[in-house]
């Protein structure tokens, strides 16, 4: 079934999002991938403030292509999430409630999601041209020197994602494959 949500994403809202749900996200989300995550967690280790407020926020793991003239942003599909696994639990502990990416997560990340009531969404990998159309505004808010890896504040409208791992730890990668193989029998 399809659900519509608008950020901020609260713990109350994540309870109603279940593995396999198709969700349309609107509102403000932040981009961040490898290099930005490394810097954020280094700041935390030094006891410093982060350049973005992560409580009830969603981070989209994406390094967009540059905008062509007239575009808000270039192609902007998800990158593979496991590379952020080393950093994600520290951000979830700060109140981050949603991550958008693709691919598997570590048991540590899933445990931290369950503890903090967070959700892992999948956007369709390799569909950057399509997904960019849902991004209505984009501005760099930190680490401009990182280029594609800078942290951007995005305003999105009906960004289509699927709940891969919900706040109870149910996993679509396991469930979907099981369901398909059962159907084939």
Q: Residue 1 and residue 44: Cα distance in Å, rounded?
A: 38
Does 169 sit near another protein (CB under 8 A)? no
- In the numeric block, the tokens 């369709």 are attached to 124
Name beta bridge partners: 161: 23
Residue ranges in the chain assigned as alpha helix (H): 11-14, 34-45, 88-92, 107-116, 128-132, 172-184
DSSP-derived 3-state class of residue 6: strand
Q: Which is nearer to another protein, 49 or 180 (CB)?
A: 180
Does 24 sit near another protein (CB under 8 A)? no
Q: Which is nearer to another protein, 30 or 56 (CB)?
A: 30
Q: Which is nearer to another protein, 51 or 82 (CB)?
A: 82
Instruction: Give the number of C-alpha atoms closer than 13 A to the C-alpha of residue 47, restricted to the C-beta side.
Output: 0
Q: Which is nearer to another protein, 139 or 179 (CB)?
A: 179
73, 132 contact by CB (below 8 A): yes
By CB under 8 A, name the one of 128, 134, 165, 167 that touches another protein: 128
Q: Which is nearer to another protein, 118 or 172 (CB)?
A: 172
CA 139 vs. chain centroid, Å, equals: 17
Name beta bridge partners: 60: 31, 100
Does 173 sit near another protein (CB under 8 A)? yes
Query: Of 7, 3, 1, which Cα lies nearest the Cα of 155?
Result: 7
Minimum separation from the CB atom of position 10 to another protein (A): 26
Applying CB under 8 A, the span of 41-49, 70-78, 86-94, 113-121 interacting with another protein comes to 70-78
Does 65 sit near another protein (CB under 8 A)? yes
Does 130 sit near another protein (CB under 8 A)? yes
Does 109 sit near another protein (CB under 8 A)? no
For another protein, the binding residues (CB under 8 A) are: 35, 62-68, 71, 74-77, 79-80, 82, 102-104, 122, 124-130, 132-133, 146-149, 160, 162, 172-173, 175-181, 183-184
């Amino acid at each position: 079934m399809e659900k519509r949500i608008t950020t901020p994403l609260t713990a109350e809202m994540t309870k109603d999002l279940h593995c396999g749900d198709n969700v349309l996200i609107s509102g403000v989300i932040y981009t961040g991938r490898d290099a930005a995550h490394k810097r954020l967690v280094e700041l935390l280790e030094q006891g410093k403030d982060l350049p973005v407020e992560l409580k009830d926020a969603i981070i989209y793991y994406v390094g967009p292509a540059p905008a062509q003239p007239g575009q808000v942003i270039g192609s902007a599909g998800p990158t593979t999430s496991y590379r952020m696994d080393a950093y994600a639990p520290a951000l979830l502990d700060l109140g981050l409630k949603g991550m958008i990416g693709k691919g598997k997560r570590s048991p540590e990340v899933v445990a931290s999601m369950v503890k903090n009531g967070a959700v892992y969404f999948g956007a369709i990998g390799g569909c950057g041209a399509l997904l960019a159309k849902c991004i209505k505004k984009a501005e760099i808010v930190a680490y401009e020197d990182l280029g594609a890896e800078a942290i951007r504040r995005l305003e999105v409208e009906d960004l289509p994602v699927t709940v891969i791992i919900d706040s109870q730890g149910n996993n679509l990668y396991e469930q979907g494959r099981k369901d398909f193989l059962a159907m084939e029998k």
